[in-house]
């Protein structure tokens, strides 16, 4: 029997959607939508009039990202985290034994 003969056409394509749809809905609801909302919120800046004035959100675009990526302490902290991972992962895996 060949591989093509062993394959059968799915007789109930709706059953696949029935089982995949709940995962897709929950995945979108609890993973994709929160990440999208966080990205949109990260593009806004909170401005206040005075120290304790009312807050209002203003679209700031990518200005905050540009400020972070040009910040030297940010890159030093990224380096420390990477160094920690390079040292910690082999230690936790027991390498070299």
Average pLDDT, the chain: 89
Rg of the chain over Cα atoms, rounded to whole angstroms, equals 25
**Nearest to 56, CA basis, from 69, 71, 46, 41:** 46
Interval 19-61: pLDDT, tens = 999 999 999 999 999 999 999 999 999 999 888 899 999 999 9
Q: How many Cβ atoms are within 10 Å of 64's Cβ, its own excluded?
A: 13
Report helix, strand or coil for 33. helix
Longest dimension (CA), the chain: 80
Average pLDDT over residues 55-69: 93
Start-to-end Cα distance in the chain: 49
Question: For residue 70, which phi and psi values (nearest 5 degrees)?
Answer: -100, 10
Q: How far apart are CA 90 and CA 58, in angstroms?
A: 45
Domain boundaries defined on the chain: 13-44, 60-96
Interval 72-85: pLDDT, tens = 999 999 999 999 99
């Amino acid at each position: 029997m060949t591989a093509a003969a062993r394959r059968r056409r799915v007789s109930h394509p709706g059953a696949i959607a029935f089982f995949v749809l709940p995962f897709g809905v929950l995945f979108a609801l609890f993973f994709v939508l929160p990440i999208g909302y966080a990205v949109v919120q990260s593009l806004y800046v909170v401005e206040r009039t005075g120290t304790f004035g009312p807050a209002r959100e203003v679209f700031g675009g990518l200005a905050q990202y540009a400020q972070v990526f040009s910040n030297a302490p940010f890159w030093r902290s990224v380096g420390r985290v990477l160094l920690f991972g390079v040292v910690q992962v082999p230690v936790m895996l027991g390498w070299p034994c």
